[in-house]
Amino acid sequence: TTTQVGIVGGGPAGLMLSHLLARRGIDSVVVDHRSRLEIERTVRAGILEADSVRLLADTGVSDRVLREGHQHHGTYFAFGGEVHHIDFEELARASVWLYPQTEVFIDLADARAAAGADVRFGVSGTTVHDITGDRPSIRFTDSEGTAQEVRCRYLVGADGSHSMCRHEIPASDLRQYRKEYPFGWFGILCEAPRSAPELIYNHSERGFALISQRTETMQRMYFQCDPDEDVDAWSDDRIWAELQARVGANGCDLNEGPIVDKTVLRFRSNVVEPMRYGSMLLAGDAAHTVPPTGAKGLNLALADVRVLAEVLDRALTKSDDDLLEEYSERALDRVWRSQHFSYWMTSMLHRPPQADEFDLRRQVAELSAVVRSTAGSTYLAESYTGWPSSDCL
């Protein structure tokens, strides 16, 4: 097979790129080692920035997010024994939407299928070749067991945080910036009604808790835990006692119900620079990961491919590789802003392992300064709802 852009990774980044390229008349082939069902069953984050919603609705992927998603005009910060509301509409004239990443993936996969796009799930043994030349290729075995080769002009690695594509770049041609955090999140899905109209970011002496949502009857919650925490050590009763103790410290009370999913998420910040090597470009988690606090991961991946589609279009039209330089520069501006925001939210809300009374009181003072200052809460609202592309490089 020959195509203009070969894309490794059929998650939201890869599929959105394929969609945006098609709108510009550029054809692509997407391959992913996972089956469609496997991707659909992975529980991921649930908050979309205003621009991510617009990208889905205005470019014709689907308007389901507007019909079935929930617009949130603000969020709650609970700390120091009280609950405070941050009004995104009032402060930043923007909202976010509660719409799970899984649904974003389904909308994109359906839209690509309806357009007759070449998307191959369930392939194995994927390798990339000649990435520094002008005819790179992807080799793999398709789901029927047949060896395949996709030759393309440009290759995109949108293959997630364990990216095979990124590992093809020689270490000497890559700068890598990392940060490890001494905690993780214990995430649950439970069958219960909502506990609050919007999300609650909860600071407490026992550690952070996040009360999120999925539907009228299904809720998503997380609590800070040890990164090596054993899921099996936590019965439903123990989980509810811990969550209630953390939010109860600030006067909240949760609606409980059967827990249907339990997972521990690890925290990490990672950035590679540049996001290009020869004819290969990296997008989404393949190039950067953020800790989950603030839900920037998916939004950042979508922002990457919006810029990438534009840059690839120009490079293909003008047959000029040098135009690719712009991608890394523009994408990294938002990547580092998001890294800072996710790091800031994380450090402000989580209890460090050796925290003493001073550390906890300092955190409460910081949270209090943010919510009491119009400048502070506006900064938070602007960052949380996402910087509009007009305000980016």
- Which residues are part of the catalytic machinery? 72, 201, 292, 296, 384
Which of 17, 55, 295, 312: binder of ligand DHB (CB under 6 A)?
295
Answer yes or no whether residue 225 interacts with ligand DHB by CB under 6 A: no
Note whether 192 and 226 are within 8 A (CB).
no
Q: How far apart are CA 334 and CA 306, in angstroms?
A: 12
**Region of 44-52, 225-233, 254-262, 370-378 interacting with ligand DHB (CB under 6 A):** 44-52
Which of 45, 53, 65, 225: binder of ligand DHB (CB under 6 A)?
45
Which of 47, 211, 239, 247: binder of ligand DHB (CB under 6 A)?
47
Q: How far apart are CA 90 and CA 14, in angstroms?
A: 34
Which of 219, 250, 293, 385: binder of ligand DHB (CB under 6 A)?
293
Answer yes or no whether residue 294 interacts with ligand DHB by CB under 6 A: yes
Answer yes or no whether residue 309 interacts with ligand DHB by CB under 6 A: no
CA geometry: angle at 226 spanning 223 and 232, to 5°?
Answer: 80
CA 60 distance to own-chain centroid? 21
Residue 109, C-beta contacts closer than 8 angstroms, at least 6 positions apart? 10, 15, 36, 39, 119
- Tell the burial category of 55 from Cβ atoms under 10 Å away from its Cβ (0-12, 13-18, 19+): buried
Report the residue number, 185 or 234, with the smaller CB distance to ligand DHB. 185
285 phi/psi in degrees, rounded to 5: -60, -20
**CB-hemisphere CA count at 13 Å for 244?**
11
Helix (H, G, I), strand (E, B) or coil at 349: helix
Report the residue number, 6 or 292, with the smaller CB distance to ligand DHB. 292
CB of 182 vs ligand DHB, minimal distance in Å: 18
Q: What is the DSSP letter of 272?
A: E
Report the residue number, 285 or 313, with the smaller CB distance to ligand DHB. 285
**Region of 84-92, 108-116, 289-297, 309-317 interacting with ligand DHB (CB under 6 A):** 289-297
265 beta partners: 185
Among 178, 161, 266, 270, CA closest to 222: 266
CB of 301 vs ligand DHB, minimal distance in Å: 14
Answer yes or no whether residue 348 interacts with ligand DHB by CB under 6 A: no
Report the residue number, 80 or 291, with the smaller CB distance to ligand DHB. 291
Helix (H) or strand (E) holding 179: strand 175-191
**Region of 43-51, 119-127, 230-238, 267-275 interacting with ligand DHB (CB under 6 A):** 43-51
Which residues within the stretch 157-186 sit at the binding site for ligand DHB (CB under 6 A)?
Answer: none
Answer yes or no whether residue 212 interacts with ligand DHB by CB under 6 A: yes
Which of 220, 276, 334, 350: binder of ligand DHB (CB under 6 A)?
220
Report the residue number, 45 or 380, with the smaller CB distance to ligand DHB. 45
CA geometry: angle at 323 spanning 132 and 126, to 5°?
Answer: 35
Q: How far apart are CA 111 and CA 33, in angstroms?
A: 20
Answer yes or no whether residue 292 interacts with ligand DHB by CB under 6 A: yes
CB of 44 vs ligand DHB, minimal distance in Å: 7
Report the residue number, 45 or 280, with the smaller CB distance to ligand DHB. 45
Note whether 339 and 288 are within 8 A (CB).
yes
**Region of 24-32, 155-163, 286-294, 323-331 interacting with ligand DHB (CB under 6 A):** 286-294
**Region of 51-59, 147-155, 224-232, 291-299 interacting with ligand DHB (CB under 6 A):** 291-299
Report the residue number, 99 or 327, with the smaller CB distance to ligand DHB. 99
Answer yes or no whether residue 46 interacts with ligand DHB by CB under 6 A: yes
Q: How far apart are CA 158 and CA 287, in angstroms?
A: 8
Q: How far apart are CA 387 and CA 126, in angstroms?
A: 35
* Helices and strands (H and E) in the chain: how many: 12, 20
| Site residues for ligand DHB per CB under 6 A | 45-47, 199, 210, 212, 220, 292-295
